[in-house]
Amino acid sequence: MDNNRDSVPAYDVIVIGAGLTGLLSIYHLRDKGFTVQAFDDASGVGGTWYWNRYPGCRFDSESYTYGYFFSEELLQEWDWKEHYSGQPENERYFNYVADKFDLRQHIRFNSHVESLRFNEDTQDWTVSIEDGYQARGRFVITAVGILSANYVPNFEGIHDFKGPWCHTGKWPKEGMDLKGKRVGVIGTGASGVQLITEIAKEVGHLTVFQRTANFCAPLRNRPITDEEQKEIKANFPEILEKCMATAGSFMHKFDPRSAMEVSQEERHAQYESLWQESGFKKWLGNFYDVMLPGEANEDYAEFFRNKIRERVHDPVVAEMLVPKDHMFGSKRLPCESGYYEVFNQGNVLLVDVKNAPIEKITKTGVKTTESEYELDVIIYATGFDAITGSLLGIDIYGKNGESLKNKYKDGPKSFMGIMSAGYPNLWTVNAASVGNFPRAAEPLVGWVIEAIEYMRTHNYATIEPSVDSEQEWGEHVKSEGAKILRSQAASWFVGANIPGKAVGLLTAPDSAPVMRAKREEIAKNNYQGFILK
């Protein structure tokens, strides 16, 4: 509690997080004349790109579609070196942005936010940091990341293991010494796939514990040539336009034809030609109906399965790597740079932990229901408590002291993923978007700041959604969410990866252009669906 409130520094806006969305928020808020204070757990900027330092970590959005577009000067002076840039360069980029725009002065680092409490008398929020520091803000933007609450399964004996271990999302800054070691990796999602491919080059022996085989596609990364660099820099408006026109804000546009309308020959020729392309084009640039449950989806899935079979020499191992229990595209497609070939190495073992689950972690390794594996290092590539994990990691108390954890116990309750009834002026921006994240974050943050400006202009102290609009949104997410492919697998998209978490789509079911249009309509109608006082 803030017993001595007058001595607590007060700001117009508190921003939690100094990653992509946090930096963006600070820049625009300051630009509009608001006072702003940000807090971050980390000792530096970058969020995801600060924490995920594991070997192999990189974009699978095209680098030049990922950076900020708000400054033409920044676009022109920053050179992405690779089409799919790696973590070290990505972290450098965010540092460059923070320095260029002098953003660090507004950030308190090494500051773990413990709680947020709404003060009904002063109609503002008190933020409390673990070390006892406090600040107040009229508004709060929780730019805490959608994939930032690391999930490590609660395996029996996890702390008994004698060797080093870590989660991919909290890779030590000083690195991990894996050379020549017996390393075990648990998890084969996008992080595991990138990590496994990279560390297989240096470890002594690698044991991969796989519960679910994934559809993975070649990334085909390469350096950006000088010629390409010039072309990219001359074409940023077109690049942006392309991204903003698509459902997930990526550059790739679906083929409007149905896969099943064309001949099998033509269909397969298209699959093959997309296979040779880089990045997500294979996922998001194909016939539109490969992303709908049904015949086209299964046809493309089989094409992927055969690609895996071609690349893995041992047919038994190949079948273990072939996904058979979920639809293509229902989980996020990991991009890879030689993942399947890793399993042709003599020093790599694939262990199926679906049929024989991990029973416990021992002093010396991993014990499944079938066997024991001796290891020097264990790496948990076991994912994140997505979307709500980091938000609910903060004790948030709204009107009448009601805890957000309690409100969210059966799943998130918000209007448009950006604010919850009973929590005035608390913008939970990260719940609203997936896809090529920066392209979704820029317009969203812009919209939030416009709303804050609107309130300043019209002298309102608080904004919060009505209970009705929150309920309607919840019903929309449920009914429309059930229809989309992302809801059809047991993944982080629906919270199914976290034991005990309520299962349901955690983000908007609408495309990015639809979400932008909905928000514009709300703003045009004086923030319809919200109560302003």
Residues that bind ligand N01 (CB under 6 A): 59-60, 147, 153, 168, 186-192, 194, 209, 211-212, 332, 353, 358, 381-384, 492, 497
3-class DSSP state of 11: strand
Instruction: Look up residue 502 and give its DSSP letter.
Output: P
Of 55 and 189, which has the nearer Cβ to ligand N01?
189
CA gap 3, 100 in Å, rounded: 38
CA gap 207, 413 in Å, rounded: 41
Long-range CB contacts (< 8 A, 24+ apart) of 97-104? 97/23, 97/45, 97/68, 98/18, 98/23, 98/45, 100/74, 101/27, 101/71, 103/18, 103/23, 103/26, 103/27, 103/45, 104/45
User: Which of 479, 501, 332 minimizes the C-alpha distance to 412?
Assistant: 501
Q: How far is the CB of 341 from ligand N01 (least distance, A)?
A: 19
Q: How far is the CB of 150 from ligand N01 (least distance, A)?
A: 9
Of 258 and 368, which has the nearer Cβ to ligand N01?
368
Q: How far is the CB of 207 from ligand N01 (least distance, A)?
A: 13
> Could you tell me if 369 and 152 are in contact, meaning their C-beta atoms sit under 8 angstroms apart?
no
CA gap 516, 522 in Å, rounded: 10
Of 18 and 387, which has the nearer Cβ to ligand N01?
387
CA gap 28, 384 in Å, rounded: 29
Q: How far is the CB of 196 from ligand N01 (least distance, A)?
A: 11
Q: How far is the CB of 273 from ligand N01 (least distance, A)?
A: 23
- For tokens 């024991």, the residue is 372
Of 50 and 209, which has the nearer Cβ to ligand N01?
209
> Could you tell me if 475 and 504 are in contact, meaning their C-beta atoms sit under 8 angstroms apart?
no
> Could you tell me if 139 and 452 are in contact, meaning their C-beta atoms sit under 8 angstroms apart?
yes
Cα 177 to chain center, whole Å?
27
Task: Determine the residue with CB nearest ligand N01.
Answer: 189
Q: How far is the CB of 322 from ligand N01 (least distance, A)?
A: 14
Q: How far is the CB of 506 from ligand N01 (least distance, A)?
A: 12
User: Which of 434, 438, 448 minimizes the C-alpha distance to 387?
Assistant: 434
- For tokens 């020093």, the residue is 347
> Could you tell me if 358 and 186 are in contact, meaning their C-beta atoms sit under 8 angstroms apart?
yes
Of 80 and 492, which has the nearer Cβ to ligand N01?
492
Q: In 330-372, which residue ranges form alpha helices assigned H by DSSP?
A: 339-342
Instruction: Look up residue 513 and give its DSSP letter.
Output: H
Strand partners, 417: none
Of 157 and 180, which has the nearer Cβ to ligand N01?
157
Of 85 and 462, which has the nearer Cβ to ligand N01?
85
Q: How far is the CB of 472 from ligand N01 (least distance, A)?
A: 28
Of 168 and 425, which has the nearer Cβ to ligand N01?
168
Q: How far is the CB of 147 from ligand N01 (least distance, A)?
A: 4
Of 194 and 207, which has the nearer Cβ to ligand N01?
194
- In the structure encoding, which two tokens stand for residue 357, read together? 């689950």
- In the structure encoding, which two tokens stand for residue 31, read together? 């630009």
